Amino acid sequence: MLPRLVSLLALAALAVTAAPADAKPRAGKRLVQFDSCRALVGYATSHVPIAPPAPPSDLPPGVQVGGGARDGEAPVTPTPAAGEDSSQTNVQEAGVDEPDTVKTDGRTIFAIANGTLHAIDARAATPKLLATVALHQSGEPTMLLHRSRLLVVGGGPRGTRFTEIDVSDPARPDVLRIEDVDGTMVDARLTGRTARVVVSSSPKALYGSPAARTRPAGWLPKGTVANVRTGRKVTRRVGCRKVRRPSAYSGSDVLTIYTADMTKGLPAVDVDAVFASAATVYASATSLYVATQRWAGDGANTSIHRFDSADADRTFYAGSGMVSGSLLNQFSLSEDEGILRTASTVGFGPEAESKVTTLAAADGRLVQRGQVGGLGQGERIYAVRFMGDVGYVVTFRETDPLYTVDLSDPANPRVRGELKIPGYSAYLHPLGDDLLLGVGQEATDDGRVQGLQISLFDVSDVARPLRLQQKQLGSRYSQSAVEWDHHAFLWWAPTQLAVLPMDSPTFNGMRGFRVDRENGIVEVGSVTHRDGKWTQPVSRAVVVGDRLFTLSDLGVQASALEGFGDRGWVAFPQPEEIPPPPCCRPMPVEPDGGAGGAPR
């Protein structure tokens, strides 16, 4: 119920500060780079109020309240596939991996549960727990996997902790280095061997002594890298000339992009920072976009900053733009052949409408190429998916219009089709064969939600989208994590299998469906994890070979792909049974250094 509560709070906030539907964004301007620490401190002290904001809450480190729920492209080596007979994390863009609590190399499943990393042999006749490592990270840690190296990102004593683990021998995971940085992770991406992590931080000068306002150290985030093998620590701060600012003051937060080479490990090989907050991260093969919503006198606008990530060893700022309204999530952004497509909702209540806007790089800015508005008058966006030259936008208040937007001419986007049906989809997944699967909520004609549903759409004719079949799952109070976290969804194309978690008063577990054009949506089976007589939430599903592996905090259940018959169970040890890793013994601290790498 927490995601629904967050959504209601967000809507309440919008009701207070909603912008008029005709609010227009100012033209995006390039960020300005500081040429000295003196200039940076001067900017910060002259713009940031002297009176400090309210102190941080008692939330644990890494937990954040608020926010949202690339000229000349060089060839990029795609993220190595887990294997022809094993699945990967469900991501937005092929070849651009996203952090998640479960990863597999096609032999071993690496899963984070109860703040602990577990390695499971998925190829054994009966799945076997190989190793367990305590991470000592708060919040909900996630990870990226490149070959034999894991990068786990979660909460830490300073805000965010990166943990580098060698898993070349899955039975003996080796914690190599730990980096603690100021701020909270917003999101991360992995392209080829390069991981980029976006962190948002509040300068210490906001809460420290008056003297802190006069020093660069009061405004810039820092990080400490600990080499677990040698016991050596090195602390380094982001350099002043690595920081940029908007042409107009946009807040005191600092967003920092840490670029790490997964073949070399920590620390980051490149760091870039901006005096701005960060809410949404989207990445293509050669670009990283960071967006943030800003309320001004003329309404709500979203600033979008593009960073070129074509170079595996560095990330550099490329330009900024702005669109009117607010974004739903990362799927509200999509890059195609150098054109950024966005979907935003402007205003609130009866005055709300949604727009699709195209932006192109020009003179170091993201400039509007085209726009089509008038989508969902009086409604807001619930789901977006851009695929090739078509954008699919779902808005909702009482009914669910599924709009199809023709983007073949970026200068003249136009709505080609509209399908009005009860309820809405909160997540859209392409199945191939011109089919689209929607996961969301059924609703009455007056907009009252009735419980979890999945819908199969035929989008072969852009002008006439059709719903081929709808299946309601459970009662009015049923829901799925897929509605707010696409990583919870599994589509296994070889057998046309869709698997999603479900939470309802009568069922808590995973359900699987065979989905195709000829037969529609046919249920295959279900899996539950039980602790005594109680079922526990099941968060992820992974395919390895001919088995489906479902994961919860209790352990891993292996099931047959056909029928979901029992193929073995692995229980996870409880956190108190796991000894701490050697990373957490006291280590000497070396003096602060400048921007750059740290000894390995």
Query: 464: part of which helix (H) or strand (E)?
Result: none
Strand order in the sheet with 490-492: 490-492, 497-503, 508-516, 520-527
Give the lowest-confidence range in 247-256, 467-476, 505-514, 544-553.
Answer: 247-256
Residue 241: which of 595, 518, 599, 600 has the closest Cα? 595
> What pTM does this model have?
0.87
CA distances from 492 to 87, 542, 548 (A): 7, 9, 10
What integer is the mean pLDDT of 465-488? 96
Residue 152's beta-bridge partner residues? 143, 163
What integer is the mean pLDDT of 50-66? 39
How many of the other CB atoms lie within 10 Å of CB of 350? 10
Burial class (CB in 10 A: 0-12, 13-18, 19+), 23: middle
Tokens standing for 26?
């100012």
For residues 548 and 562, give the distance between their C-alpha atoms in angstroms, rounded to a whole number: 9
CA distances from 303 to 131, 250, 286, 455, 497 (A): 44, 10, 20, 33, 38
pLDDT digits (tens, 9 = 90+) for 260-309: 999 999 999 999 999 988 999 999 999 999 999 887 666 689 999 999 99
Tokens standing for 300?
């709500």
In three-state secondary structure terms, 576 is: helix
For residues 325 and 17, give the distance between their C-alpha atoms in angstroms, rounded to a whole number: 12
**Residue type for 56, please?**
P
For residues 417 and 322, give the distance between their C-alpha atoms in angstroms, rounded to a whole number: 27
Residues in the chain: 600
CA distances from 74 to 309, 311, 316, 317 (A): 9, 8, 14, 16
pLDDT digits (tens, 9 = 90+) for 224-243: 999 999 999 999 999 999 99
Q: Is the pLDDT of residue 72 over 50?
A: no
In three-state secondary structure terms, 231 is: coil
How many of the other CB atoms lie within 10 Å of CB of 337? 8
pLDDT (0 to 100) of residue 83: 59
pLDDT digits (tens, 9 = 90+) for 328-381: 999 999 999 999 999 999 998 888 999 999 999 998 899 999 999 999 999 999
In three-state secondary structure terms, 315 is: coil
Residues 145, 574, 143: CA angle, nearest 5 degrees: 15
Q: Are 559 and 550 in contact (CB under 8 A)?
A: yes
For residues 386 and 430, give the distance between their C-alpha atoms in angstroms, rounded to a whole number: 10
Residue 305: which of 279, 326, 331 has the closest Cα? 279
Higher pLDDT, residue 285 or 586: 285
Residue 177: which of 547, 478, 587, 593 has the closest Cα? 587
Rg (CA), the chain: 24
Residues 40, 41, 42: CA angle, nearest 5 degrees: 90
For residues 356 and 371, give the distance between their C-alpha atoms in angstroms, rounded to a whole number: 6
**Residue type for 231, please?**
G
Residue 115 sits at φ, ψ, to 5 deg, of 70, 20
Q: Are 131 and 179 in contact (CB under 8 A)?
A: no
Strand order in the sheet with 435-443: 424-432, 435-443, 449-458, 466-473
pLDDT digits (tens, 9 = 90+) for 164-176: 999 999 999 999 9
Can you tell me which residue has the tokens 């602790």? 531
For residues 188 and 256, give the distance between their C-alpha atoms in angstroms, rounded to a whole number: 11
How many of the other CB atoms lie within 10 Å of CB of 148? 14
pLDDT (0 to 100) of residue 3: 45
Residue 226's beta-bridge partner residues? 178, 233
pLDDT band for 248, please (50, 70, 90 cuts). confident
For residues 160 and 460, give the distance between their C-alpha atoms in angstroms, rounded to a whole number: 45
User: Which DSSP category does 34 fall into?
Assistant: P
For residues 1 and 7, give the distance between their C-alpha atoms in angstroms, rounded to a whole number: 10
pLDDT (0 to 100) of residue 16: 33
What integer is the mean pLDDT of 25-47? 85
- As a whole number of angstroms, the longest Cα–Cα distance in the chain is 71
pLDDT (0 to 100) of residue 453: 97
Q: What does the DSSP assignment read for 117-180?
A: EEEEESSSSS-EEEEEEE---EEEEEEEEETTEEEEEEEETTEEEEEEEE-SSTTS-EEEEEEE
pLDDT (0 to 100) of residue 364: 86
Q: Is the dihedral of CA 80, 82, 84, 89 positive or negative?
A: negative
Q: Are 549 and 560 in contact (CB under 8 A)?
A: no
Tokens standing for 188?
């991360």
What integer is the mean pLDDT of 579-585? 53
What integer is the mean pLDDT of 196-219? 91
pLDDT band for 251, please (50, 70, 90 cuts). confident
Residue 197: which of 263, 271, 147, 303 has the closest Cα? 271
Strand order in the sheet with 538-544: 538-544, 547-552, 555-560, 566-571
pLDDT band for 581, please (50, 70, 90 cuts). low
Q: Is the dihedral of CA 214, 215, 220, 222 positive or negative?
A: negative
Give the β-pairing of 449-458 and 280-283.
unpaired
Q: Is the pLDDT of residue 398 over 90?
A: no
Q: Is the pLDDT of residue 14 over 60?
A: no
Q: Is the pLDDT of residue 413 over 60?
A: yes
